Amino acid sequence: MDQFTLNLIFVGATFALYVGIAVWARAATTSEFYAAGQGVHPVLNGMATGADWMSAASFISMAGIIALSPAGGYTQSAFLMGWTGGYVLLALLLAPYLRKFGRFTVPEFIGDRFYSKGARLLAVLCLIIISITYVIGQMRGVGVTFSRFLEVSTDVGLYIGAAIVFVYAVFGGMKGITYTQVAQYVVLIIAYTVPAVFISLQLTGNFMPQLGLIGDYAPTGGQHTLLAKLDMVVTELGFTAYTADSGNRLNMFLFTMSLMIGTAGLPHVIIRFFTVPKVADARSSAGWALVFIALLYTVAPAVGSMARLNLTTTMWPSAISSTALSGPALSRADIDSKPELSWIRTWENTGLLDMEDKNGDGLIQYYNDKAPADHPITKAAAEQGWKGNELVKIDNDIMVLANPEIAALPGWVIALVAAGALAAALSTAAGLLLAISSAISHDLIKGSIKPDITEKGELQAARISMTFAIVLATWLGLNPPGFAAQVVALAFGLAAATIFPALMMGIFSKRINKEGAIAGMLLGLVFTASYIFVYKGWFFIPGTNNLADIPANYFFGISPLSIGAVGALVNFIAAYVVSSVTAAPPAHIQHLVESIRVPKGSGTAVQH
């Protein structure tokens, strides 16, 4: 059976499963649409949360970022620490208290706790900005996967993905999305780990990728560990050692913190904890989510490392048994004639991989053409007439998807990866779209525009809002903004600087009032968004040459990816200062804050 047919069978079967679940679990009430009737078992909710969280960024991009980072793979461990650490914060500091409060959405909690429609509307604005920017990446993941594995255009792939999301999200709401995400988790975790097991066996003889990462490199007969071999190969090619600690410690700390509190502040993740029956189940769900996420996140470093080694030894075949430059580089003739290298031509057709024989020698030299003048690779390039790195483009997003093909794994494994990548992208897209829909229908329409709307009318408004959100997300996927590749920085930074501090102060401080909360969110929003836009060079700075996106220009070396933690601090300080010079919250609000933290019972907070 040819590869295209296998891809079609695997992807089609999973799509049929998602649609079937949506029909079975269709939401009939607003409670089911927003919170799945608050009847989801914590283990299932943990699994659904794992799928909701492990987006295209986790499945497709993370291992690619680890594999191809110019600073080496070590510095990218911040992604693993930050994204998993956020669930510890959720489990300990947010999830049980928000569940006890008994509301459906994050803006509703902020509006009630800070007794202000203005605070609620500001939270809606932040939520929509965060979710829209985040969903662009998911739609891109859908397009990339479809364009490669189903051999259709990126646009057609987006339309297909949007249609599937429409069926199970618009009709199923949170209830349908939850059980669909359980199925999607099963698909994506199998799709991620099965190829990793195969490749770990090939390279190390160990079936557990986590142990293979620190094991011996089999092709050299155990003379080197896998990571030592990888360091040897990449440094000889002029790149930074893969395991080198070359990062700015302050920036790495702030980046990790931004990812942690950004994760804990993401609305589409938080609303998952409104779906369980009891307060204790919310904390239990977060624990189970960590377990299910760890099954992928502990494999990701191995996938990234093995993908980088496989890619490098493909470009320099002699590097498998000795060193990178002991033999000729990969030839264009081999690429065009050998079936095991057909993946190169296939990915070149997608535009995500590009090679150029700059010196016309028929070989493709892959090396760091920006290495220091005294580096052996620079001297070798001058002696042999190389004109620069001829692997001129390799997108991070192809590493996980192409890895099974690079390793020459069976066709069914490649098809499984395609289904898993789509499951990851679609599951998170659905969660984000639901968060947007809930904010519009429940917080904006029912909360401000038409408070007397009937339940039937609100459910209809929710479905219309979801449809509008899907259309907008599809359009953004088809016409992404020029800075689409960095929008995750904006999403996490804004979540860290706006939503997370408001929730923390709303739960743990009786003194923070509406004026303080609004001031804090506004300053956090403006400060973080301004820093990201300025230092990403997304608009012109008068009096400069607009080279803002150069690390040397960063304030104290803090990159735009890390500024969310500073924005959160700005939010906390502003809220406390403003609250201290304005009237304290009403007595019933202070009593509400106390009741949220009472560690007993399973009901909602008592409000008066």
Q: What percent of the chain has pLDDT over 90?
A: 37
**Would you tell me how many other CB atoms lie within 10 Å of the CB of residue 249?**
9
Q: When comparing pLDDT for 582 and 175, which is higher?
A: 582
Q: Share the mean pLDDT of the chain.
A: 86
Least confident of 11-15, 139-143, 392-396, 441-445: 139-143
Label residues 121-147 b or e (16+ Cβ within 10 Å = b). bbbbbbbbbbbbbbbbbbbbbbbbbbb
Residue 203, H or E segment: helix 173-204
Percentage of the chain lying above the pLDDT 70 cut: 93
Q: For residues 333 and 311, give the distance between their C-alpha atoms in angstroms, rounded to a whole number.
A: 18
> Which one has a higher pLDDT value, 451 or 247?
451
**pLDDT tier for residue 543 given thresholds of 50, 70 and 90:** very low
Q: Which residues contact 108 (CB under 8 A, 6 or more apart)?
A: 120, 442, 443, 447
State which of 96-100, 262-266, 411-415, 567-571 shows the largest mean pLDDT: 567-571
Torsion of CA 169, 173, 176, 179, to 10 degrees: 100
Task: Give the pLDDT confidence of 82-119 residue by residue, as tens digits.
Answer: 888 888 888 888 888 888 887 778 899 999 999 999 99
- Banded model confidence at residue 326, pLDDT cuts 50, 70, 90: low
What pLDDT score was predicted for residue 42? Answer: 92
List pLDDT tens digits, range 395-448.
Answer: 887 888 888 888 888 999 989 998 998 888 888 888 888 888 888 998 889 888
pLDDT over 50 (residue 386): yes
Stronger pLDDT, 230 or 34, i.e. the higher one = 230
pLDDT at residue 538, as a whole number: 53
Given a cut of 80, is residue 516 above it in pLDDT? yes
Task: Identify the structural domains of the chain with CATH numbers, from first to last.
Answer: 3-231+239-306+408-480 (1.20.1730.10)
Q: Sorting pLDDT into bands at 50, 70 and 90, what band is 246?
A: low
pTM of this structure: 0.85
Which of the residue ranges 231-235, 349-353, 465-469, 584-588 would you say has the lowest mean pLDDT? 349-353
Taking the C-alpha atoms of residue 101 and residue 52, their distance in angstroms, rounded to an integer, is 22
Query: Is the pLDDT reported for residue 567 higher than 70?
Result: yes
* Farthest CA pair distance, the chain: 82
| Sequence-distant (≥ 6) Cβ neighbours of residue 475 within 8 angstroms | none
Q: Which two tokens stand for residue 288?
A: 């189970």
Calculate mean pLDDT across residues 310-317: 89
Higher pLDDT, 266 or 154: 266
Q: What is the DSSP string of 115-171?
A: T-HHHHHHHHHHHHHHHHHHHHHHHHHHHHHHHHHS---HHHHHHHHHHHHIIIIIT
